[in-house]
Each structure stands twice: as structure tokens, then as C-alpha cells.
Structure 1
Amino acid sequence: MRRSRFLQAAAASPLLLATARAWAGGDDRRVPVVDAHVHCFAGRDDARFPYHPLGPYRPVELATPEHLLACMNEAGVDFAVVVHPEPYQDDHRYLEHCLDVGRARLKGTCLFFADRPGSLDRMTELVRRREGQIVAARIHAYAPDRLPPFGKPELHALWRRAGDLGLAIQLHFEPRYAPGFEPLIREFPATKVILDHLGRPFQGSPEENAVVHAWAKLPNTIMKLSAFPAQDQYPHRDVGPVVRDLVKRFGPDRLIYGGGSEPEATGASYRAYREQVRSHLADLSAEDQAKVLGGTAASLFGFHNAAPKAPS
């Protein structure tokens, strides 16, 4: 579209108008940048937001929404999804604090446990109270003592309720546990299923990874390009071939990215992480790269309802 025609069309759309203003100011991005995977922690000493007794770990360093937003501004990240972390278990007070600080720029995922009494009602109450701000329900399956009730009515009910509430299901799992999820992915095709951290391919055998790769044929699955391991750390493997294979399997309309916002992150390091992700997308057009780095997530999580913030 020519610039003049774009500016004319923008008058009828708040989102296009915001994009047009950014374009006029020199920002030629057509879609927002969306980080789909950040964690925030209040630390051990904030009595307002204590870690849960059942949390598997207790971070010492702070990772506040204020620091996140500062890094986002410097790195040109418009929106982000705060993935509610396990140290808080099903206590979402700090997530709600983050959403209050971030306003329209942050949304969040929730964590409820299918086999704990009252989880469905509490999830429903949170989602309705935080209308439009909770976008997914996360399920973990990565250790024998951290598994959902596979094959039982409780997990089926949680999956159904999340779908009824308009949430995606976000899976953080080792490939060996993938078969337990597949019946539900197939039974509820209208519910989007986000696969965290490349599907954790280095924790799976070729046969186990093949199950996850086959999900690329299921249109409700979305792969998240996140948690890239450094090659000088265990398992000492180059992530590049894995990412390029997933890009071919899932395509830009079913790929999102996340990560880079660590407690010690700066705007420069945060941007550098995104450019690392982009380096594995070289076979895609600029338009499709933009989808992976924000466009697909913006559509999935409803960030198009708010104007993107141009980077400083």
C-alpha cells in the first residue's frame, strides 16, 4: 500500500492510525513486537507477594514489571505476556500487580491445578475479574512429581473450562509426556494450544520429539520460540537446526517468540535476544519475520486492541 493511501485508510481504524503516526515519525514497522514469555518475581523479601510453600524454586533476584517496561521501551518491544511462574503456584496476586503496572501493554497467563479443589471456580473468577488480561492457562508436565492428572476427568474439565473462558492452553512439558496431551488437543480443536520452549527438544528422544512435531499438522497448535540454550552449556547442541525445522513445520502464522527479559537484562541485551531469534528466521520474508516477532502473538492475545508504543 502506498504511504498516502495507508494514511487515508488509517483514519477509520485506531490501530492503523497509531501505526500511521509511528510511520510518520520514522518507525516503519507494520506490526507490533510482542514478547510472549516473560516472568516477573517480587523476590523473597516482599511480604505482600510471598512464594507458595509448594513452589519448586524461590528466586532471589527481583524481576519487576517496572524493570520489564523500561527494557521494553529501550528494546522496542510493544507488548508482553507475563507467564505466571511456579513459585507462586495458584496465588496470582503478583501477576495482578504486574497487570496493574503494565496496563494495556501487559497481559498474563494463569496457573491452576486440575486436581486441586476449587480450581475451576477460582480460574473463572480471575479471568472474569481481569477481563481481557488473562490469555492462557498453563499446564506443567516435566517431572514425575509435577504432572497433571492425565486421562482423568479433572484435566478434561480444566481444559474445557479454559476453552469456554476464551483462554489458550499453554503447555510446558518434556516430550515424553506429550502423548498424555494429544487426546485433549484433538478433542478441543477450537482451543489454541501453545507449546513452550520449542517443545523442549533436547529433553526428548527422536521418537518422543516426533510426537510433538506431528502436532504441527493440528491447526490449533502454536509453537513458541523461547528458552534457547547456549551451545556452551548442556546439552551442548546447536539450536539453529531445531528452530529452522520448527519454522518449516509450523509456519509464521503459528509461531510466536518469547524471552530475553532476565532480572539483569538491559534494553540492549533484550533487543539482542530478539535479534538472535530473528537470525534463525532468515529463510522467511520480512513480513513473515514480523509475524513471528509480534504479529501472530498480537492477533492471538488481542493486543491489536491497544495502540503499540513506538520504541525510544
Structure 2
Amino acid sequence: MIIDTHVHCFAAPDDARFPAHQRAPYRPTTAATPEHLLACMDGAGVARAIIVHPEPYQDDYRYLEHCLTIGAGRFAGTCLFFAEDPDAATKLAALAKRAPLIAARVHAYAPGRLPPFGKPELRALWRAAADAGLAMQLHFEPRWAPGFTPLIDEFRSTTVIIDHLGRPLQGTEEEHQVVVRWADKPNTIVKLSALSEVTQYPHRDLTPAIRALTGAYGAGRMMWGGAFSAASTPASCVADQERARRHLVHLTHADQELIMGGTATRVFGFST
């Protein structure tokens, strides 16, 4: 069973029901709807998808809940709350009760928008996710990875999903080694996603990082995420899968199948 664990959906810019947040760091110009996603999934043999709540909506979940309703039974979601919001834990718990969520996401890549590392607020958000039975999903540049280590250690029974391979191309090899060493922590899982080509900026080959991560984590602790967008077609979604598998040619077919869906099925408790 193929599962795409990283999908962003966006409403049309002129859809007044689902406006971008006033603090949105970017604003999509075209819609990438759940209906379009389902059509692409059907044509590409993808059984399930994780809707990763995108930053333009900040902590407004109306569009996420709309998507999860459209894709009921095939979609699950992630949420995005901000630790500095004193009501974040309460809001997270309420959303987790009414929507099929699998993770709470935290970003650490823009110096002016970092989570409060080492402070009680971030721990409280992590605790709220753990109490709700959610994983913590981390999207960061490697230089910020050490700030998460104490919480990964403290909440050892809470799954931690590392987005986009830990962004190896946005840091030095030494910085990314922190992510590789997290393989010693059994609650960590790496997402094989954001698979840029050497022809794309920053014009670096992902192969060494992928080999290091597959060697450290093993296929049973890795999962695939595609590149769905407004421009996607069933054919492009098949091509996304083929691109991922080209990075996994050093693995057995069985291990590739774990990454393409088996790990997500186990971790998120999906029925087969």
C-alpha cells in the first residue's frame, strides 16, 4: 500500500471561506484541492495521504478540516500550533478530538520565527501532542536540530517525524550529522521527501545524505512524501514515486515497500 505522507492542499486565493492568515509567510496563487489530490492518488495508485497543514493558514484549521472531510477514510492530517500562544495546548487537544490527526508540526528554519527552545512553552506543546496521542513532526534547518534533542529524549514514547530528510542541503554535513545520530533514539522516523535534483538550487547531490540516513535508521523507520501541487497529474505523481525509488536502489524491494507505505501503515495504525 503506497502512502504519501507529505501533502499540502490550498484553497483558491479568492475563496472567502478559507482566507490566508494575516501572518502568512507566503500566499499560494493557485488552488491545490483535496478533490484534485484524490484524482491524482487514484491515477497513481496511492491509497492514503497525510495532509500537512501549511503555513499560510497558521492556526486556522477550517481548510484542513474541509480537506479531511472530503477525503474521509483516506486522509489524515497534521496541525501547526505555536508554543508561544498560551492557548496552544488547549487548542491542540480540541482539534485532535474532532479531526483525524497524526502529528503536530513545529518549524525551525527562519531566525525570526524559531520555536522557544529550552523554554517551558515548547515542552508544554510537546506534552499536549503526546497526551493527544500525536507524533511531533519537525521541519528545520540542520543548524537548529540540537534544540530539539532534549525533548526527543524526554518524551521517548512520542514518535518524532523528521521532515524532508532533516534538510541536509540547507546545512553543512557536520550540522546534519546531528540528525543522522538521532537514529540512536528509537522514537525517531525520517521522511524521504523534498527530493530536489542536482540541477536545482542549491545544486548538491542528496545521495550521500540518503545513504547515510537509510544506513542509520533502516527502512522500518523511514517514510515517503511526494510533491503534490496544483500542477500535479496522475502521471506526475507516478513520477514522484519513481524518483523516490531511484534514491533507494541500494535497498531491497521489501525495504523500498516499507518506505513507500509500510512504515506509515504501522506507525499511524492504518488498516490495509
Q: How would you bin the TM-score normalised by the shorter chain?
A: over 0.9
* Paired residues of 2:5 and 2:224 also in contact (CA < 8 A): yes
Tell me how far 1:284 sits from its aligned partner: 1.7
2-side partners of 1:137 and 1:99: how far apart? 15
Q: What is the letter of the counterpart of residue 70 of structure 2?
A: V
Decide which of 94, 104, 116 is 1:149's aligned counterpart: 116
Task: For 1:206 and 1:261, locate their aligned partners in 2 and report how far apart those are by CA, in whole Å.
Answer: 28
| 1:235 CA displacement | 1.2
Q: Which residue of 1 aligns with 2:31?
A: 62
**Aligned residue in 1 for 2:18:** 49
The runs of at least 4 aligned residues of structure 1 exceeding 4 Å deviation read: none
Partner of 2:235 in structure 1? 268
Residue pair 1:141, 1:147 contacting (<8 A) in 2 also: yes
Query: Which residue is 1:243 aligned to?
Result: 210
Q: Give the Cα separation in 2 of the matches to 1:280 and 1:205.
A: 20
Three-state SS of the structure 2 residue aligned to 1:281 is coil
SS in structure 2 opposite 1:78? strand
AA at the equivalent of 1:268: A
1:219-265 Cα offsets, whole Å, 9 max, x none, are: 11000000011211211112222212211111011000101211101
Match of 1:204 in 2: 171
**In structure 2, distance between residues paired with 1:57 and 1:152:** 28
The aligned counterpart of 1:74 is 43
Bigger radius of gyration: 1
Check whether the contact 1:140–1:147 (CA below 8 A) recurs between aligned residues.
Answer: yes
Q: Which runs of 5+ in 1 are unaligned?
A: 1-31, 308-312
Secondary structure of the 1:145 match is helix
Q: Would you say the 8 A contact 2:180–2:212 is kept in 1?
A: no
Query: SS at 2:177's partner residue?
Result: helix
Q: Work out the CA distance in 2 between the residues paired with 1:281 and 1:205.
A: 23
Hey, what does 1:184 align to over in structure 2? Answer: 151
Contact 2:169 2:206 in 1 (8 A): no
Aligned partner letter, 1:274: Q
Matched AA of 1:174: E
Aligned to 2:229, the other structure's residue is in SS state: coil
Gaps (5+ residues) in structure 2?
none
* Alpha-carbon RMSD: 0.9
Give the counterpart letter for 1:219 in structure 2: P
1:103 aligned residue: 72
TM-score, length of structure 2 as denominator length: 0.98
Q: CA–CA distance in 1 between the matches of 2:194 and 2:230?
A: 15
Shift of 1:209: 1.0
2:104 maps to amino acid? A
Cα distance in 2, alignment partners of residues 57 and 167 from structure 1: 27
Q: In the alignment, does 2:58 pair up with 1:117?
A: no
Separation (CA, whole Å) in 2 of partners of 1:273 and 1:143? 28
Alignment partner of 2:190 out of 216, 223, 228: 223
> What is the deviation of 1:59?
0.4
User: How big is the shift at 1:204?
Assistant: 1.0
Pairwise CA distance, 1:118? 1.0
Identity %: 58
Q: TM-score, normalised by structure 1?
A: 0.86
Map 1:9-28; keep pairs closer than 5 Å: none
Q: Is the 8 A contact 1:171 1:193 kept in 2?
A: yes
Report the residue type matching 1:298 in the other structure: T
Deviations, residues 75-122 of structure 1 (Å, cap 9, x unaligned): 000000000000000001000000000011000000111111211111
Report the residue type matching 1:129 in the other structure: R
SS at match of 2:147: helix
Q: Does residue 59 of structure 2 align to residue 90 of structure 1?
A: yes
Amino acid across the alignment from 1:221:
T
> Could you tell me which amino acid in structure 1 is paired with residue 242 of structure 2?
E
Distance in 1, Cα, partners of 2:226 & 2:109: 19
Q: Per-residue displacement from partner, 1:43-91 (whole Å, max 9, x unpaired)?
A: 3100000000001000011100000000000000000000000000000
CA contact (8 A) 1:260 1:274 kept: no
